Amino acid sequence: MSYNLQVSIDRDSGFCFGVVYAIDMAEEILTEDGYLYCLGDIVHNDAEVERLKLKGLRIISHDDLIDLKNEKVLIRAHGEAPETYKIALQNNITLIDASCPVVLKLQNRIKNSHDAKEKILIFGKHGHAEVIGLQGQTNNEALVFQDIAELEDVNLPDKFTLYSQTTKSTDKFYAIKDQLINRGFDVKANDTICRQVSNRYDDLRNFVKSFDRILFVSGRKSSNGKVLYEVCRQYNPNTYFISNADELELSMFNPGDKVGICGATSTPMWLMKNVKEVLETY
C-alpha cells in the first residue's frame, strides 16, 4: 500500500547566518589545504559534522589544542573564551575565527559589564561552548544557571546584570526576569537572545498548524533545536523529533497525511531534503 504522503519543507528552517559563515569558511580552507582543525563540533549536527570530516575536517578538544603547534584551527560560531586565544598565541596557531558576530557582540557587552564591576548572571546551559566563552569574559566570575530553581540556595547580590545565552527561549528569559524582580532584586536585564532563533517561533507556529504530522529534524545536542522543537509541539502535538531519516517509522503516519519538515538553526537543508525523499517512497 502506498501512503501518498504530501510532504513540504519549511523554507525558513535551516542554517542561520552564523553557521553558514563558519561552514563556508571551513569549506574554503578544506578546498585549499585538504584538512583543517576545528575546536569542538563545528555545528551541533552529527550528519553535517560527518560530511565535513570526509572533506578533511579534524575535530579536536581543548586538551588537544594544548599539544598542537604551528597549525590552523577554526573557532566555530559559538565563540571561545580568552584562554583559547592565549594558548593559540603560545603555540603559534593561526586561528580562523568564525565566531558568530552576534556572539562576539554579546561577549563584548559582558566584558564591559564585568569591567564596570557589575555582578553578572548568565541564563545558559552549563558546559555549553558559547556559555564557557561568555563566562570567560568575566574571569569565570559570572554565575551561570540554566534553571531558576538553581538560584534558590544561592546568596545573590541585591543588584545584578542578567544576560542570556543566544539560543535560549525568550519566554523563559522574561519569566525568570519577572520572578527575580518580584523577589526584590534590582535586575538590569538584557535580552540577548539571537533573533535568528526567536524570530523563528512565529514562523514555526504558522508552519506547523497546516500539517497532520511534523518532523522536527535536529541534532540532539542543539540548544536551539530543543527550544524550537517545543514550539512546534505546542502548536502541533503530532510533532516528532528525529536526527535523520534512519529514525523514521511508518507507524508515525496515516495514509494521505500532510507532513511538514522543519529544523534548527544547525540543521542542514540537505538533511531535511533527504528526509523528504525517504517519505516520498512510502
List contacts with ligand SF4 (CB under 6 A): 16-19, 77, 100, 102-103, 166-167, 194, 196-197, 265
**Shortest spacing between CB 5 and ligand SF4, in angstroms:** 30
Find, among 238, 85, 107, the residue nearest to 166 by Cα.
107
Q: How far apart are CA 106 and CA 282, in angstroms?
A: 46
Residue 5 or 217: the one with the smaller Cβ distance to ligand SF4 is 217
Is residue 106 within 8 A of residue 78, CB to CB? The reply is no
Residue 194 or 275: the one with the smaller Cβ distance to ligand SF4 is 194
Look up residue 67 and give its three cell numbers.
599539544
**Shortest spacing between CB 20 and ligand SF4, in angstroms:** 9
**Shortest spacing between CB 279 and ligand SF4, in angstroms:** 27
3-state class (DSSP) for residue 59: strand
Residue positions annotated with a catalytic role: 130
**Shortest spacing between CB 173 and ligand SF4, in angstroms:** 15
Q: How far apart are CA 257 and CA 260, in angstroms?
A: 10
Taking CB atoms, the residue at the shortest distance from ligand SF4 is 18
Residue 162 or 180: the one with the smaller Cβ distance to ligand SF4 is 162
3-state class (DSSP) for residue 123: strand
Residue 198 or 238: the one with the smaller Cβ distance to ligand SF4 is 198
Amino acid at 193: I
Is residue 12 within 8 A of residue 200, CB to CB? The reply is yes
